[in-house]
Amino acid sequence: MQSGVKVIAQNRKARHDFFVLETHEAGIELCGTEVKSIRQGGVNLKDSYCHVKNGELFALGMHISPYEKGNIFNRDPMRPKKLLMHRREIMKLYGQVKQDGCALVPLSVYLKNSRVKVELGLCKGKKLYDKRADLARKAAERDTERSLRERD
């Protein structure tokens, strides 16, 4: 945990299903009740992805729970959220997605100096045997750590 950074939600399924080639930071355009809901931890990144439309970057499938005290000011929890990046960066990512067959996936949502930020990953899909190899490697690491702790 760095100074001024507080992780709100992570997309663990994305790291299981994809190889993360690059990560990028983006701002997100929200209304007031959505920010309050995110501060309470009411965001879900499962099955979310990003796409470029008319030179703008949007996050789809990101669920932000309605704020309890927001009444009429609450927005649709599944509405597309606009991500804020420089146009140069967006076009570079768009080119890589179109050319390499990669996907843009939100990896985490965090607060950085009181601003909501999204960590985007340029990802390539894993095959089933890659997922199994990762699970086996993690299990082996857990077993070795456990045995080292028991020895001490």
Residue range 57-76: mean pLDDT, rounded:
87
Tokens of 88: 């140069």
Domains of the chain, CATH where assigned: 5-126 (2.40.280.10)
Tens digits of residue pLDDT in 72-124:
778 888 899 999 999 999 999 999 999 888 999 999 999 999 899 999 999 99
Structure-token match 């930020």, residue found: 117
- Output the pLDDT for position 2: 52
For 143, phi then psi, to 5°, come to: -65, -40
Spatial neighbors of 113 by CB under 8 A, at least 6 apart, are 4
pLDDT reading at 1 higher than 90: no
